[in-house]
Amino acid sequence: MKKFFLELLDWIYKKKCYFCGKSTECVKMCSECYDEMEHLPVKVNRIIDGKNVYCAGVYEKNIQKLIRGLKYHNQPDLAYYLAKFMYEYWQNVTDEKNFQIIPVPVFKKREKQRKYNHMTLVAEEFSKFTGYPCNNELIKRVKDTKPQYNLKKLQRMENLKDAFEVNTSKIQPGRILIIDDICTTGSTFEEIISELKKCGIDDIVCLAATTPFGD
């Protein structure tokens, strides 16, 4: 019933595309704007602590606006489109099914301010596409770190030192797929991989929606 009323309101008020402002399709991201986002070639983008890291696209134009809207401007509906973009890339990486999705967590205070962890929303949508289960409680962020975008490599590493903790009671069988929105230096993935390895978890792959650097 709730879904029916939400769809009715969307029809009455003609939900506009967040990107171009058109209401033709009555969606948050129309197909034309979505199709403007380009995937990078399917290959390992970098190797961090012996683990493969894949990046689906470049952090620019519509995908940049998508991530910023989802992350900073209270647009949770955009999680679906980011998950779809990542899935369309990922399905060309592997057809394995033995993965569990681990979204990069945010500190509780920041999650409360934003009202959600955007990567948890993306993980839940990605799970619908892949059939992989989410394990949102395996990794906790226990340190309120500074925003990473203005920091250099060494500053990022220091900022993230001891920022994450593994909840050993939530360890489950299966390969680990850590997902995040942007991979710049890889410091976030590196710190999480390190903490997982301390607990004997070594079968890990990382997937970022974007990187600031092209192919």
Mean pLDDT along residues 61-82: 97
Tell me the pLDDT tens digit for each residue of 85-95: 999 999 999 99
> Rounded to two decimals, what is the model's pTM?
0.89
Is the predicted pLDDT of residue 211 greater than 70, yes or no? Answer: yes
Is the predicted pLDDT of residue 196 greater than 70, yes or no? Answer: yes
Is the predicted pLDDT of residue 15 greater than 60, yes or no? Answer: yes
Question: Residue 116, class by beta-carbon neighbours within 10 Å (0-12 exposed, 13-18 middle, 19+ buried)?
Answer: middle
Counting every residue, how long is the chain?
215
Higher pLDDT, 6 or 69: 69
CA separation for the pair 107, 112 (Å, rounded): 9
Instruction: Tell me what pLDDT residue 108 has.
Output: 86
20 in Cβ contact with 30 (< 8 Å): yes
Is the predicted pLDDT of residue 10 greater than 60, yes or no? Answer: no
Q: Report the topology of domain 37-211.
A: Rossmann fold (3.40.50)
Instruction: Tell me what pLDDT residue 5 has.
Output: 62
Q: Comparing C-alpha atoms, which of 77, 5, 60, 35 is closest to residue 209?
A: 60
Instruction: Give the chain's mean pLDDT.
Output: 90
Name beta bridge partners: 139: 166
Question: Residue 41, class by beta-carbon neighbours within 10 Å (0-12 exposed, 13-18 middle, 19+ buried)?
Answer: exposed
Q: Where are the domains of the chain?
A: 6-36, 37-211
Give the pLDDT band of residue 169 (cuts 50, 70, 90): very high
